[in-house]
Each structure stands twice: as C-alpha cells, then as structure tokens.
C-alpha cells in the first residue's frame, strides 16, 4: 500500500472520530484532498482509495494537473476545488476548469467568475472567505461586510453561493482552535436565519480538523496529512 493510502486511512479515521465525538454523521463532512505542489501521480494514488474531491491553490498548476489526471484516468468523474487566493486577471481558467471556488472575498471576482462560467456547465459553487482573525490576515471579507456581499453574490446567474470558508491563524493549542471556527459558524447561521440557503462550512486543515468538525465544518481541506510535507511557506508563495 502506498504512503498516501496509509495517510488517507489515518485521516479518514480522524474524521470519523471527530464526527462521532461531535454527534454528527460521518457523511456530514466531506474530505477535500489538497494536492497543491504535488504531482498528478499523487492524485492518482489518492484516487485508489476512492477519493474524488481535490483542492488546488495555483491556477496554472491546477489546470495542468486536472488535464494530466483526466488523461491518465479517463472517465473517472472528479470534483476539483480552487481554494487559493484569486487574482482578477486569472478568473477565466478557474471558471472553466473547477467545480468549486472557496476563497471569494469581493464582488468583482464573483461577477467575473459568473460571466466567465461556460454555458452548459453547472453553476460554479462558491464559498465566501471571511476574515475571522482580524488584522492578522489580509484576505477574506470583514464580518461586517459579509451580509451585503452574500446578498449580491447570491443574485449572480452562473454561480451558486454555497457557504463560507476561513483560514484561521495557525494555533497549536487544540482548545484555542475552536473560537474562530465557532465565529464562522455563527456568521453562517445568521445568514441562514436571514433566509439564505447555505449548506457549506469550509473549515479545518491538517492541524485543526477535529476542532473544525466539532464546530460544524462540512468540508475539511486536508493537504499535508495526506500527501506529506510541502516545501516551506516561502517556496509556496513563490510558486503562486
């Protein structure tokens, strides 16, 4: 068995345990395997375990990988999620190649994605990224501006607003990991109470998936726990 299959089993067990501890069904949490910086062969490996949803952060790398996987495993339906920051001049390949986009934080990006979504494809599923860490992070809509943005995005014809996403500041103390996730969930429930039909809370990564599931995550985005360590953060950035 490959290392990736072994890791997939461990992640699956961690998700099951966290769901059980939270009194939630396993099926309420989707595992998104984040394959950024890893070659397409790693995706093929994860597919051996039945995994079908994959996340990418960089447009060109993602588009190339989608094509390489499709060529190597023709006929297998996969669900590709774009989870990285989005520059407005790079929306077209995202709209044309992905099923989901997680980090939309301004109207202009959502408008371009909607305009550029090819006719004949299902609406592009969108999550709004919320800045729940305040000054510490630059990306994400401020909580106070979220309701307006959500209302405007929900009106666009070729995208479908599914929910919210956040990337909290890294926190190794498990007890302290809950607060930002609980905050995101509250914002989500407030939008639902206002009449929006949302079903997705995209939160939780390799280091904090249990806390995220306890607070209601419906998608956890897991990279290093499945594929191994990436090159350091600087290399990650240069890659963007």
Among 51, 57, 177, 200, binds ligand PLP (CB under 6 A): 57
Residue 205 binds ligand PLP (CB under 6 A): yes
CB atoms within 10 A of CB 27: 7
Gap between the Cα atoms of 11 and 91, Å rounded: 31
Residue 81 binds ligand PLP (CB under 6 A): no
Residue 36 binds ligand PLP (CB under 6 A): yes
Stretch that binds ligand PLP, among 19-27, 38-46, 151-159, 202-210 (CB under 6 A): 202-210
∠ CA 80-201-8, rounded to 5°? 55
Residue 207 binds ligand PLP (CB under 6 A): yes
Gap between the Cα atoms of 99 and 61, Å rounded: 16
Among 49, 97, 114, 206, binds ligand PLP (CB under 6 A): 206
Residue 4 binds ligand PLP (CB under 6 A): no
| DSSP 3-state of 2 | coil
Residue 224 binds ligand PLP (CB under 6 A): yes
∠ CA 220-224-229, rounded to 5°? 165
Stretch that binds ligand PLP, among 71-79, 152-160, 193-201, 222-230 (CB under 6 A): 222-230
> Closest approach of Cβ 166 to ligand PLP, in Å?
9
Outline where DSSP puts E strands in 38-90. Answer: 53-56, 79-82
Residue 167 binds ligand PLP (CB under 6 A): yes
* Owner of token pair 């009449």: 195
DSSP secondary structure of 104-163: E-SHHHHHHHHHHSPTTSPPEEEEEEB--SGGG--SSB-GGGHHHHHHHHHT-SSEEEEE
Stretch that binds ligand PLP, among 6-14, 45-53, 137-145, 199-207 (CB under 6 A): 199-207
Residue 223 binds ligand PLP (CB under 6 A): yes
**Residues engaged in binding ligand PLP (CB under 6 A):** 34, 36, 57, 83, 167, 205-207, 221-225
């Amino acid at each position: 068995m490959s290392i990736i299959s072994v890791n997939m089993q461990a992640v699956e067990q961690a998700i099951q345990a966290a769901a059980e501890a939270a009194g939630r069904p396993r099926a309420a949490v989707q595992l998104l395997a984040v394959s950024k910086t890893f070659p397409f062969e790693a995706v093929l490996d994860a597919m051996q375990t039945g995994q079908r949803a994959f996340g990418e952060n960089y447009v060109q790398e993602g588009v190339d990988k989608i094509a390489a996987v499709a060529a190597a495993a023709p006929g297998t339906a996969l669900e590709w999620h774009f989870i990285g920051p989005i520059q407005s001049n790079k929306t077209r390949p995202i709209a044309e190649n992905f099923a989901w986009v997680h980090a939309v934080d301004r109207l202009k990006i959502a408008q371009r994605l909607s305009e550029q979504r090819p006719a004949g494809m299902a609406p592009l599923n969108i999550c709004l990224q919320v800045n729940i860490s305040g000054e510490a992070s630059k990306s994400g809509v401020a909580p106070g501006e979220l309701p307006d943005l959500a209302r405007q995005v929900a009106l666009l014809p070729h995208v479908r607003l599914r929910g919210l996403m956040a990337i909290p500041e890294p926190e190794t103390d498990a007890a302290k990991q809950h607060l930002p996730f609980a905050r995101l969930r509250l914002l989500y429930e407030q939008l639902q109470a206002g009449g929006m039909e949302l079903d997705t809370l995209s939160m939780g990564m390799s280091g904090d998936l249990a806390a995220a599931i306890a607070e209601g995550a419906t998608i956890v985005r897991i990279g290093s726990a499945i594929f191994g360590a990436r090159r350091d953060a600087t290399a990650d950035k240069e890659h963007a």
